[in-house]
Amino acid sequence: MALFERLYSQGHEEVVYFSDPTCNLKVIVAIHNTILGPALGGTRMWQYSSEEDALEDVLRLSKGMTYKAAVSGLNLGGGKAVIIGDPVKDKSEALFRSYGRFIESLNGRYITAEDVNIGVSDIDHIYTETNNVTGVDIAHGGSGNPSPWTALGVFRGIEASALKVFGDRSLDGKVVALQGAGSVGCYLGELLHKAGARIYFTDINEKNIERFKEAAPNAEFVGVNDIYDVECDIYAPCALGATVNDETIDRLKCKIVAGAANNQLKEPRHGDILRQKNILYAPDYLINAGGLMNVSIEFEGWTDAKARRMVDTIYDTTLKIFKISDEKDIPIYQATDFLAEERLRSIKAIKGSYLGNLGHRFPGRKNRHMH
């Protein structure tokens, strides 16, 4: 498909390619939608096998950010960036500072943050050249690690799901099968443990397994492939996407699927199958939005209390989506998109009228008359 056809069909506003041969920088920034505010989304660094793959990834991810911000009630648009390169060999101060200067040239339309293979020290170099970056170190006035906030949001989503399925938000005595004891998984394990849940977990990384056992001492380890067969109330995917697929869906013995991983359903039809099986699926891009919520308050001055208040709203929004799903008799993944699209439509509509202050909008014209 030709590029503009592709952008039109998915609704992207802008795609920018930045290159700087002096430091080997190759980056694509995609701004999907700015109806609600500046496009915020992280930068991913990856050795893509082709430029086409990199473009495909950034288009898909930036659209996802529009929906995540919209459904979370944030005044942010959707954007994302990909740096094409080897994160082990190609990182340098010059590369990130050059990238920061390019971000600055977008004049605030795009704000970046961490994503896969981009850490706080890389963000600090970007921050040297532009203010349009979040996820900055707490020492420099930023909001630090987003993972505990993502975990808290997932925990709220699980509580809302428990209320819907069991009539009580308490997780005391509930059995959880948690896949992926990484940054988010480990914080989530700690919250679940404190709430009295019984946890079965899996991972492939020894260090993370040990750390998880310290965070949730009652948790029992199961094999990587056995996690789908655990008799449980809640399956919490916190490792990879697409784990609800043709191979796993008949093995799941849970009543709720709710976790941090992005794009848990391999295909939309797996959301339909979960519904037929009477398994409640918590909307993934809403319940894992705690990290985004956390960085979104960085510009107004981050505090722990503000972040907590915002992330706690995930509980009510999750319930609202369950209600839409029931009322409209549609699967939850469709109800989540519906809520996001409804907000985008309604906010776009109020921006239709002229607000006056011509001088402000065309300062050059005003100045000509003045001088």
Of the candidates 94, 106, 148, 111, which has an alpha carbon nearest to the alpha carbon of residue 17? 106
Among 148, 146, 149, 168, which residue's Cα sits nearest to residue 159? 168
Nearer to ligand NAD, 66 or 183 (CB): 183
The residue (of 115 and 337) whose beta carbon lies closer to ligand NAD is 115
Q: Are 77 and 37 in contact (CB under 8 A)?
A: yes
Residues that bind ligand NAD (CB under 6 A): 146-147, 150, 179-185, 202-205, 208, 224, 238-241, 260-262, 288, 291
Which of residues 59 and 311 has its CB atom nearest to ligand NAD in the complex? 311
**Active-site option among 68, 80, 91, 255:** 80
Residue 191 DSSP SS3: helix
- Report how far residue 278's alpha carbon sits from residue 276's, in angstroms, rounded to the nearest whole number: 5
Q: Which is nearer to ligand NAD, 238 or 339 (CB)?
A: 238
Helix (H) or strand (E) holding 175: strand 175-179
80 is annotated as an active-site residue: yes
Nearest residue relative to ligand NAD (C-beta): 182
Convert 135-159 to b/e letters by CB count within 10 Å (16 or more is b): bbeeeeebbbbbbbbbbbbbbbbbb
Please state the φ and ψ torsions of residue 329, each to the nearest 5 degrees: 55, 50
283 in Cβ contact with 71 (< 8 Å):
yes
Of 235, 280, 226, nearest in space to 261 by CA? 235
Residue closer to ligand NAD by CB (options 179, 317) is 179
Identify how many contiguous H helices and E strands the chain contains and give both numbers. Answer: 14, 12
- Which residues belong to the active site? 80
